[in-house]
Every structure is written in C-alpha cells, then in structure tokens.
Amino acid sequence: MIETVFKPEIKKQAEAIMARYETKRASILEILRLVQESCGYVSTEAEEAVAELLEIPAIDVHEVVTFYTLFYRKPKCKTRLNVCRTLTCALAGGDRILDHLEKKHGLRPGEAREDGSVSLQTVECLGACEIAPMMQLNDSEYIGPLTPEKIDQVLERK
Amino acid sequence: MEKLISKYFVTGKTFGMDEYLADGGYEAARKAFEGFDPKGLIEEVKKSNLRGLGGAGFPAGMKWSFIPQNTGKPVYLVVNADEGEPGTFKDKYILNHVPHLLIEGMIIAAYANQVHKAYVYIRGEYVGPHRTLVRAVEEAYAKGFLGKDIFGKGYALDIVVHRGAGAYICGEETGLLESLEGKKGFPRLKPPFPAVVGLFNCPTVINNVETLSYLRFILERGADWFSKLGSEKNGGMRLFSVSGHVKKPGVYELPLGIPLKDIIYDHADGIRDDRKLKAVVPGGLSAAILTPDEIEVGMDFDQLRAKKTMAGSAGVIVMDETTCMLKALLVTMRFYAHESCGQCSPCREGTSWVYRILKRISKGRGRSQDIKNLLDICSFMGGTTICALADGAAMPLRSYPEKFKEEFEHHIQNGKCDSPDCPIAEDLVTA
C-alpha cells in the first residue's frame, strides 16, 4: 500500500519534510499536500499510506483530511474557480458574479462540469478584500476585481 | 506621515536580501544581541507599548514575560500568519513585499525569549506569500542570519515555514498549535496558556506577523519614540486593511488612535460615488458594527472596547447607504456557521441556528419573535465556549438588529427592503 503512494522519489521528499518537525505527526499537512500534488487528490488508500508512514491511526488521518478545506477527496477538475462569498466580496457584487457563472456558463457553486473540465466552489474570505469581488484560480492565482468579462476571459484561457 | 512597514509596499516588488540590507536591514537584530540581555530586551518591548496586532491587542512585552525559562524544556516561537479574519489582508503585504522584516523580528523575539526553533504558520491559500517567505528564509540561512551561529554570536535559530490547509479556526492560537502538531484545529481549554504549555507541551510564544515586523523599528529608534507614535498604552502604528464601499481600498499604516472618520474619508478617499455612509465594521468581521454617528472614535484597542466593539485585526469594512443590512448580517453569520469547528455545542448549534433564522427572514418568512430569538442566542453563545469564535459571532450579531432595528422589523414584516441587493439572490442563500 505505502509503496504505491510513496514511490521512491516521493518517499525521499516526504522524509525530508518529516525531518523538519519534532514529531512525525506534525508533518501531516505538508505530507498530505505532497500526496495531493503527486496523486492529484487524497484517496482512502492514500490516507492509509500516510497513516502507515506517520505511524498513526488511519482515522486520525481521515479526521485531518476532512477537517481542512484544501484537500481534494476525489479527482479535481482542470480549471477550478474558488469564488469568495464573504462580506466585502458580497458588498462588491459577488452574487452578480455567481449569477453570471450560472446563467452564461452553467456553473453552480459546489458543482462541476460532467467532463471534469471546470468546477466552481464558493469559499470564505481569502484575504484579498482590496480586490473584491475576487476568486482564487486553481488553488493559486488571486484574480480581482472580478467582472463578468474577466470571468469569460478566464474560462476561455484554459 | 512617515511610514515604517508600508514604505516597503511597492506594487509588484519584493525586497530581497541585498535591498533589505542596503536599507539598514538586520542591524536591529544585531543590535538586540549586542545591546541587550534577553530580560532587558523584554523590558524595552514592554516600554514600547507594542500590542498584539493579530487581534487580541495583548501587550507584546508582557506576553513574553510570561514565558518560564527554567522548565528544562525548549521554548518555541510560533508566528501566526494564518490571516483569516474577513476584511484583513495586511500580513499578506508584509509577506509579499518585505519578508525579511518578519524574519528580523523573529530573530529579535527568539533572542528575547531564548528560542532556538521557530515556526511560521501561514494560511494554505497564500501560495505566493508562502513562496516568497521560503525564499527569504533560505537567503537568511545563506547569510548566516539563521542556523547554528547567527551573526557569529554563538546563538542558534532555525525557522520552519509551515502551511495550513484552509480552516479559519486555526488562526485561534491554540487551534493553530493543535494544527501544527498534526491534528484538526480544535482550540484548547485554557489555562494552561501556551506561554506555559504550548507547542509539543513546551512554553511557546505566539505572535502575529505584523507585531513582529515592528520590532526592528523599536530597536532602531527606541521604545519611547515608538510608544509616542500611538495613543495611551497603544504604542506605535498599525496596518489598517480598508475595504468595502470606499473609493480607495487598500492597506494604510496609521498611528493607533487615529479617528475612524479620517481613515475612511482622508485615507481611503471617502465613499464610492460620494454616497452616504451607513455602517462600518472597525476591526474585522467579528467586531460589532458602528454607525455614522460613532466614527469619531479613536482606532485603538481601548477606545473601541469602550464603544462595545473592538480594534481586532484592523480590518475596516465600509458599507454605504445602499447596503441591505439583513444581507450583510446573513453573509456574516454564514461565515461563522461554516467556520465553527464544532467542538462546543453553543457555537456549533448557535451559529447555524442563527444562519437558518436569517435565511428564513430573507425568504420573506420572518416571524415577529425572530429578533428577540437572535438576541437570546447571542446571550447563550457569548462566553460559553472554549475559544472566542462564538464571541466573535455574537458581537456583530447583536449589533446589527440593535443598531438597525427598524430595518430588520421592516424585513420581517415585508419580506424585503429598498436596497438594490434586496431581495437577496437565491444563489447567495442556497450556496
């Protein structure tokens, strides 16, 4: 089990990460991120492999994976829009952006296109209220202030 | 007005090691070793009246003085860079533009508290800031400012940069420690406080990015100078994140105690389209809102507390006259319902109950007892839980219907108000 998730190169990286911490368990968020980067998401099998690596019960890993929002538990879409819905973005017309995503692009919060190309999620404050309304694209780039045109450009970009 | 931290906030630019050194960087950290013993350094920071700028406003020097040095256990320094209080985005600017200012502050704090290992807990969504900080830490190791023998003074300090994974509750300092130990971020019952039993059961200093970033200036120009920049017992300046219906949203570094009115009208250039102000969140989403007749208030920890709100994280969110206050509160309470960690019943049940009531009102099915029920829920949520998340929900929750009673009653009776945001989009309510 552990060998299929932690192939030699990944295992080496995992060991380097674990060495920074006082306990093996403390490295779990970074280890899960490494697994997610190499496998695309964190499967039940991957949770068990992480449990074996860190020498903790599998349920503890499962608890961590499900507590935090940045872990994917199934394969992720190629283009992922995380649109902020908290107060400043709402004041700046964030719901009009969501409306546009639904009417023009057929995307509703929490849903993905059937072909796995695009997913839309609403998220809480990302710490970029100065560019409200805003979103995070593919778990990395911050984009804002959003307009319907900017949304169209991003979706055409892929 | 002179800028300290924010003079480095040049759009598109990060001050790397060479540029930071050319601007006198790391001289203050060197001075800390040469001019002070650890106790003297803590006294200097106490004298500066530097407050904890993450939100709690606890005097930084006093926090340090609670660290026991004789337990035989290592002392850890943990930097809270899990910036998540809605309306707050200033730590991101420090990390993006001048990460060495934080590292220099960490060296000073580490020496004062005899720390040899420090962690920076940065929110997982801050991908760019994380990358920038990691690069800066590598530069500092390469120069010998971190590692086994920093500045050749025989003092060892290691920094580990650690990423969170998306949970507001991990900004709460004991939730952060649990998370850093590899668990879900359930806050801990206090006492014992982290100063005595913190990370890995060892004494732990936890400071915010901004708090540590001011240490360089205190060392450079003295505690008295710094203290006098602010108001009584609120030393120095702080970074106000201003957003919402203002012409110029952004980060403004201003003295503690500056009137809220000046921040909105002089610095952020007033309300968009010159509309009228309706309400302001003065210190991050968890602060009670203020009305236009309250904006003369001085923005420091003590004056805002006297107004029954809080300085918090200095996230100022401005709402103009077109705002539907029911929608604003609904969005606010949806946040707490989503972010409650679920450990304590009053918070877990209370936040989602409040959200359900507000959703029902927004759909035109308000009931006459709703406002009373909301205020009753506030009373049982506040002060009854392990951490302050429920208090942070109760504070705005109480302030909206108290300060905009007629508007809430109107909503309950008529189902909607005259705001262009009303009725509230179905998307927003169901999402």
Q: What is the pLDDT of residues B331-357, one digit of tens each?
A: 999 999 999 999 999 999 999 999 999
B189 inside 8 A of chain A by CB = no
Query: Which site among B80, B82, B85, B125 would you substitute to test the A interface, given the most A Cβ atoms closer than 10 Å to its Cβ?
Result: B125
Query: What residue spans of B143-250 are helical by DSSP H?
Result: 173-180, 209-213, 215-221, 223-229
CB-count exposure of residue B318 (10 Å: 0-12, 13-18, 19+): buried
Check whether A56 has a pLDDT greater than 50.
yes
Given a cut of 90, whether residue B426 has pLDDT beyond it is: no
**What does the pLDDT read at residue A1?**
72
Banded model confidence at residue A158, pLDDT cuts 50, 70, 90:
low
H-helix segments, B66-222: 90-97, 99-113, 127-142, 173-180, 209-213, 215-221
Contact map slice: A 36-65 vs B, CB within 8 A: 54, 56, 60, 63-64
Residue B392 has, within 13 A of its CA and on its CB side, a CA count of 27
One-letter identity of residue B324: C
- The separation between CA A99 and the C-alpha centre of its own chain, rounded to angstroms, equals 23
- Percent pLDDT > 90 in chain B is 95
What's the pLDDT band for B274 if we cut at 50, 70, 90?
very high
Two structure tokens written together for B165: 């994974």
Q: Is B45 helix (H, G, I), strand (E, B) or coil?
A: helix
pTM of the predicted model as reported, rounded to 2 decimal places: 0.97
Q: B166 — contact with chain A (CB < 8 Å)?
A: yes
Rounded to an integer, what distance in angstroms lies between the CA atom of residue B339 and that of residue B359?
17
Residues of B in contact with A68 (CB under 8 A): 124, 164-167, 184
Task: State the pLDDT at residue B314.
Answer: 98
Q: To probe the interface with B, which of A27, A84, A91 has the most B CB atoms within 10 Å?
A: A91
Work out the burial of residue B69: count CB atoms within 10 Å of its CB; fewer than 13 is exposed, 13-18 middle, 19 or more buried: exposed
Q: Is the pLDDT of residue B428 over 60?
A: no
pLDDT in tens, B116-145: 999 999 999 999 999 999 999 999 999 999
Q: How confident is the model at residue B430 (pLDDT cuts 50, 70, 90)?
A: very low
Give the Cβ contact number of residue A74 at 10 Å. Answer: 9
Asked whether the predicted pLDDT for residue B308 surpasses 80, the reply is yes
pLDDT in tens, B161-190: 999 999 999 999 999 999 999 999 999 999
Q: Which of B91, B165, B427 sits opposite A70 (nearest CB)?
A: B165
Partner B contacted by A8 (CB < 8 A): no
Would you call A21 an interface residue with chain B, using a CB distance cutoff of 8 Å?
yes
- Which pLDDT does position B325 carry in this prediction? 97
Chains A–B, number of C-beta pairs less than 8 Å apart: 154
Three-state secondary structure call for residue B241: strand
Mean pLDDT of B268-289: 98
Mean pLDDT over all residues of chain A?
96
| ipTM reported for the complex surpasses 0.95 | yes
Question: In this model, does residue B424 exceed pLDDT 90?
Answer: no
**pLDDT score of B231 more than 50:** yes
β-pairing, B76-81 with A118-123? unpaired
List all residues 6 or more positions away from B393 whose beta carbon is below 8 Å from its beta carbon. Answer: B286, B333, B336, B340, B347, B350, B351, B354, B381
Question: Which amino acid is located at B225 in the chain?
Answer: W
Helix (H) / strand (E) element for B348: namely helix B345-362
- The closest alpha carbon to A131, from A101, A97, A103, A99, belongs to A97
Strands B204-208 and B76-81: parallel
B82-to-B51, B78, B121, B222 alpha-carbon distances in Å: 18, 11, 6, 29
pLDDT on residue A2: 87
Residue B420: band (very low, low, confident or very high) from pLDDT cuts 50, 70, 90? confident
Q: Please write the tens of the pLDDT for every residue from A60-70.
A: 999 999 999 99
User: For residue A94, is it left (φ>0), alpha (ψ between -120 and 50) or beta?
Assistant: alpha
The rounded mean pLDDT for chain B is: 96
CB contacts, 8 Å: B84 with chain A: 125, 127
- B131: Cβ contacts below 8 Å, ≥ 6 apart: none
Give dist(CA B260, CA B266) in Å, integer: 10
- Contact status of B275 with chain A (Cβ, < 8 Å): no
Q: Is B87 near chain A, with CB under 8 Å?
A: yes
